[in-house]
Chains A and B, each alone.
Chain A
Amino acid sequence: MMPVADFYSSSLKVPMLKSLLAVSSFVCALAAHAAPDAALVRRLADADSGVKVAAIRELARTPGPDVLRLLEAMSEGRLALAGGAVLIVDGGSAFDAATGAAVKAPENAEAVTVNNRIRGELGNALAALGLFDPDPAVRLASARKLQGKAAAGMEAVLSSALARESDPRIKDLLALTRAQAHLSSADPAVRRAAVRALSGSSSPAVRGLLLPLTGKDGEADARVRQAAISAVKSIDGRLALTENLGRAFSGLSLGSILLLGALGLAVIYGVMGVINMAHGELLMIGAYSAYAMQTVFRNHFPEAIDWYLPAAIPLAFFSAAATGALMERTVIRWLYGRALETLLATWGLSLILIQAARALFGAQNVEVANPGWMSGGVEILPNLLLPWNRVIIIGFALCVLLLMWALMNRTRLGMFVRAVTQNRAMAGCVGVPTARVDTLAFALGAGVAGLGGLALSQISNVGPDMGQSYIVDAFMVVVLGGVGQLAGAVWAALGLGVVTKLLEGWSGAVIAKIVVLAFIIVFIQKRPQGLFALKGRFAD
């Protein structure tokens, strides 16, 4: 992991350099501005947050590189108070925040506390300063940041930024932001124009700003109130769309996770009819593979740590597959056709595997970090942010599914597996080595479970008994989908994911879980063969 200080300085260098290069043009454009007033700077370190906020607002009115540097340092917690002087601390060196003179970093410097209120204020002030940056990308980002946050006092800054802006996209955004600031104007006509301008927005923050204007308490003028009511209504329409899209996405995401958890079981249960209670532990092996690979990368390739996850894919598959093959060879093959004994034996195996994981990795959960490229999210629409880890897991589930499908339908092994599923005795008669196919199919199912566990490690906890919480879900998917069919598992997983998410939104997580279980019980009563059943004649 990158030390925090390095992280900041490296991410900072670019904008800092740019703003320094821009000093000359800045100075000319904004007329002469002096270094920040020392008394004002001292107030940044005042004990009272109210005084700090006032000082920040005051400073932000006179944009310039010094102010930018000062506020950036403050937002990163690099401002310190020592002997009445405010210092900017930069690694080992320090300089006076008002004069810019380098000073020796004192021992007893006390860091200036930045709480949420100050951080929000600094964010706004920095974004306002960013509106004057020569780089259009910085200006655009700053304008975006100010959306829904514009305070009444920012009107002047916004107007001057708007007057200097040439990029039409940024101009539009700034006009919207200024309209938000205008909502608290004293003139009803200005307020009404602002409400009209904002009615085209689809951001929940803007809706929040307009909402107080729809009531008598927040707005005295009836015509403004009317305009606000219709504006909120039109925003609501657009928000409902993104909310439903968001719900569908979370259902899809849960479905993909259920599918990854159940796909391996679909093969094992489907082909051999083995009720594998140790399936959850195969998921666990996959998840611990991610942890093991992460540890290897941390110790030996710290610069490539972001790529530990792809490297863990083969490890997860083969370690789970090897465990599966071992289980089949040593225990399960002696118990074919005896469902109850298999159930008990695999349950025993699951306990052994849990205890083995405890002995190897400790009883506590282990930390598996999201790689950098899986953190954060992508904003599709103003109110629809899809987290990368979930998007990638959906893609991963699709890939695994495609590979499984190809393997089952396009290879000789897949043909053998299907033959054994449909009629074991007849397949044996025509020369299919059923015993070997059993082992391979079991190993394949276990390996796929390992891949599922690898994906699970990115969104939930990795611990010795993590498998226990997925085994019920996995069986639910397979039973609902119908035995022996991949398509059944896919539809069941997606259906359960979407239904669970809809119910959760409506009734909360606890009730949703109960309702889904009750639904499956009723469904299995009515249709014991599941959603999809194999057609044709069976030996058993």
Chain B
Amino acid sequence: MKSRRAFLKVAALSAALASIGLAPSGARAADAIKVGILHSLSGTMAISETALKETALMAIAEINKAGGVMGRPLEAVVVDPASNWPLFAEKARQLLAQDKVAVVFGCWTSVSRKSVLPVFKELNGLLFYPVQYEGEELEKNVFYTGAAPNQQAIPAVEYLMSPDGGEAKRFVLLGTDYVYPRTTNKILRAFLKSKGVAEADILEEYTPFGHSDYQTIIAKIKAFAAEGKKTAVVSTINGDSNVPFYKELGNAGLKATDVPVVAFSVGEEELRGVDTKPLVGHLAAWNYFESLKNPENAKFIAAYKDWAVRQKLPNARTVVTNDPMEATYIGLHMWKQAVEKAKSTDVDKVIAAMAGQTFNAPSGFGIKMDEKNHHLHKPVFIGEIKADGQFDVVWKTPGPVRAQPWSPFIAGNDVKKDEPEK
């Protein structure tokens, strides 16, 4: 009898599980277009990526409310690759092969993008990648809506070398140990050399993902800065390590007026939860800041705040918007425009239709997708951290800048074609 009861229990349990798994498919509208969302919702990158999932869902809801794409509603398929790089590839395969999504919005770290690339090439999928990155890549299956190095890293370092940036002569290149910081720092090193900065005036330091003890690094920066020349720190630290880094920086009394830190992966979202009063004046370079004042941005912020409250997100009253969220938002709308132009969700047709798409972005500029190189033309802003965790824009380019995915500061790039191989 006992074994029979156990069997019944198992059967009931599996039936319950199956019904959970099947419920969404039953509710699915027959003609919905599926959109995959591939962002880490747990692990070290969740601090940055969770907000991108929410932005994508918000943009999808917005598009559906306005009648969908070609009259068909969009349906989001959300997966959690859990900051685990091989799992990104697995989940990407699931989205493309099993869920048959028309497009995927996802990834933050370059290592996750590199891990899903072979899958997208093999299955001819379409990925929109919303984060600034190191360049050195141009794939037919990917649209890069974040910044290339010449749209973020190079202008930021030029600013540090200008009178307003403090005329820095020595540089600490500090990053998390993976492909994006290593490549960016390689480009920056070559750039600094071309500007006459000596090898001895550059210090490169890396920490593992999730590193939380920044005492030694801060002590090293202090010692390096005491050599008689103005020193600046360029930080490519990614993920939740930024919280202990900035906490230590604040507690150690390293002021922005003495040693400014400019970060490429720290925005409004990462600074939630850090006391920013000791950090006033440290910098970040992005293509968008929440503090930008223009009607498009006001609309975007209001829409996201409203979304956060309606979705009951944690700390919904204090949500912020940031650059990769804006890039996700631009990407979704441009993809919609391209599908409508191509009158099809076929990947090759959509790729062709993406060229030259424009969108009035929250950054206050009409943003264009380049005709050839799969990158956006974006304006560059440099902001200083304010006491309330927002940024004060202290420098900006006059208009959008065309991306150079193949940085001229890396040898051999001058012969590479500025469009993907067919």
- Which stretch, B68-76, B295-303, B353-361, B386-394, touches the partner chain A? B386-394
A: contact size bracket? 35 or more
* Contact in complex: B163, A49 (CB < 8 Å): yes
Nearest CB to that of A363 among chain B residues?
Answer: B42
A388: which B residues are within 8 A, CB to CB? 251
* Contact in complex: A510, B177 (CB < 8 Å): yes
Q: At the interface, yes or no: B309 with Cβ under 8 Å from chain A? A: no
Residue from B42, B165, B251 with most neighbouring chain A CB atoms (10 Å) = B251
* Contact in complex: B248, A387 (CB < 8 Å): yes
B387: which A residues are within 8 A, CB to CB? 4, 7
* Contact in complex: B252, A501 (CB < 8 Å): no
Which residue numbers of B lie inside 8 Å of A, CB to CB? 41-43, 46-47, 50, 80, 163-166, 177, 205-208, 210-213, 215-217, 219-220, 222-223, 225-229, 240, 243-244, 247-248, 250-253, 256-257, 260, 272-273, 275, 277-278, 280-281, 283, 314, 384, 386-388, 392, 394
* Contact in complex: B257, A123 (CB < 8 Å): yes
B43: which A residues are within 8 A, CB to CB? 465
Nearest CB to that of A368 among chain B residues?
Answer: B273
A54: min CB distance to chain B, Å: 12
Closest 10 CB pairs of A and B: A367-B273, A211-B228, A204-B226, A387-B251, A120-B257, A460-B212, A250-B215, A208-B228, A363-B42, A504-B216
Known: A49-B163, A364-B46, A375-B275. A461 touches B314 (CB 8 A): no
Nearest CB to that of A367 among chain B residues?
Answer: B273
* Contact in complex: B240, A461 (CB < 8 Å): yes
How far apart are the CA atoms of A203 and B341 in the complex, in Å?
65
B207: which A residues are within 8 A, CB to CB? 508-510
A-B contact pairs, 7 of them (CB 8 A): A49-B164, A119-B280, A364-B41, A364-B47, A369-B273, A389-B247, A508-B207
Q: Would you list which residues of chain A between 371 and 426 have a CB under 8 Å from chain B?
A: 375-377, 379, 383, 385, 387-390
| A to B contact number (C-beta, < 8 Å) | 158
Which residue numbers of A lie inside 8 Å of B, CB to CB? 4, 7, 49-50, 77, 113-117, 119-120, 123, 204-205, 207-212, 239, 243, 246-247, 250, 253-254, 257, 358, 361-370, 375-377, 379, 383, 385, 387-390, 459-461, 463-465, 469, 501, 504-505, 508-510, 513
Pick the residue among A7, A208, A363, A377 that contacts B41 (CB under 8 A).
Answer: A363
* Contact in complex: A377, B252 (CB < 8 Å): yes
B163: which A residues are within 8 A, CB to CB? 49-50, 117
Nearest CB to that of A361 among chain B residues?
Answer: B314
How far apart are the CA atoms of A501 and B177 in the complex, in Å?
18
* Contact in complex: A385, B253 (CB < 8 Å): yes
A321: min CB distance to chain B, Å: 25
Known: A117-B164, A375-B275. A358 touches B208 (CB 8 A): no
How far apart are the CA atoms of A207 and B386 in the complex, in Å?
31
B215: which A residues are within 8 A, CB to CB? 250, 253-254, 390, 501
A401: min CB distance to chain B, Å: 20
Known: A4-B387, A461-B243, A461-B244. A254 touches B177 (CB 8 A): no
Other A-B pairs, 7, CB within 8 Å; known A366-B273, A377-B252: A117-B164, A205-B226, A250-B216, A364-B47, A505-B220, A509-B208, A509-B217
A67: min CB distance to chain B, Å: 20
How far apart are the CA atoms of A254 and B213 in the complex, in Å?
8
Nearest CB to that of A461 among chain B residues?
Answer: B240
Pick the residue among B50, B278, B388, B394 that contacts A113 (CB under 8 A).
Answer: B394
How far apart are the CA atoms of A388 and B281 in the complex, in Å?
23
How far apart are the CA atoms of A50 and B167 in the complex, in Å?
13
B42: which A residues are within 8 A, CB to CB? 358, 363, 464-465
* Contact in complex: A116, B251 (CB < 8 Å): no
Nearest CB to that of A362 among chain B residues?
Answer: B314
* Contact in complex: A204, B222 (CB < 8 Å): yes
Pick the residue among A115, A250, A358, A377 that contacts B384 (CB under 8 A).
Answer: A115
Known: A4-B387, A115-B394, A208-B227. A370 touches B46 (CB 8 A): no
* Contact in complex: A365, B240 (CB < 8 Å): yes
Nearest CB to that of B159 among chain A residues?
Answer: A115
Pick the residue among B47, B206, B275, B384 that contacts A116 (CB under 8 A).
Answer: B384
* Contact in complex: A208, B252 (CB < 8 Å): no
How far apart are the CA atoms of A210 and B226 in the complex, in Å?
11
* Contact in complex: B272, A367 (CB < 8 Å): yes
Residue from B43, B164, B277 with most neighbouring chain A CB atoms (10 Å) = B164
Nearest CB to that of A53 among chain B residues?
Answer: B163
Nearest CB to that of B386 among chain A residues?
Answer: A77
How far apart are the CA atoms of A510 and B217 in the complex, in Å?
12
* Contact in complex: A4, B388 (CB < 8 Å): yes
Known: A113-B394, A205-B226. A509 touches B211 (CB 8 A): yes
Nearest CB to that of A505 among chain B residues?
Answer: B216
A390: which B residues are within 8 A, CB to CB? 215, 251
Known: A119-B281, A509-B206, A509-B207. A463 touches B240 (CB 8 A): yes
How far apart are the CA atoms of A117 and B382 in the complex, in Å?
14
A250: which B residues are within 8 A, CB to CB? 213, 215-216, 219
Known: A243-B223, A358-B42, A509-B206. A461 touches B212 (CB 8 A): yes
How far apart are the CA atoms of A367 and B386 in the complex, in Å?
19
Nearest CB to that of B43 among chain A residues?
Answer: A465
B161: min CB distance to chain A, Å: 13
How far apart are the CA atoms of A253 and B216 in the complex, in Å?
11
B265: min CB distance to chain A, Å: 15
* Contact in complex: A364, B257 (CB < 8 Å): no
A355: min CB distance to chain B, Å: 10
B391: min CB distance to chain A, Å: 12
How far apart are the CA atoms of A207 and B227 in the complex, in Å?
7
* Contact in complex: A364, B50 (CB < 8 Å): yes
* Contact in complex: A510, B206 (CB < 8 Å): yes
* Contact in complex: B220, A387 (CB < 8 Å): no
* Contact in complex: B216, A211 (CB < 8 Å): no
Residue from A113, A459, A464, A513 with most neighbouring chain B CB atoms (10 Å) = A459
How far apart are the CA atoms of A209 and B257 in the complex, in Å?
16
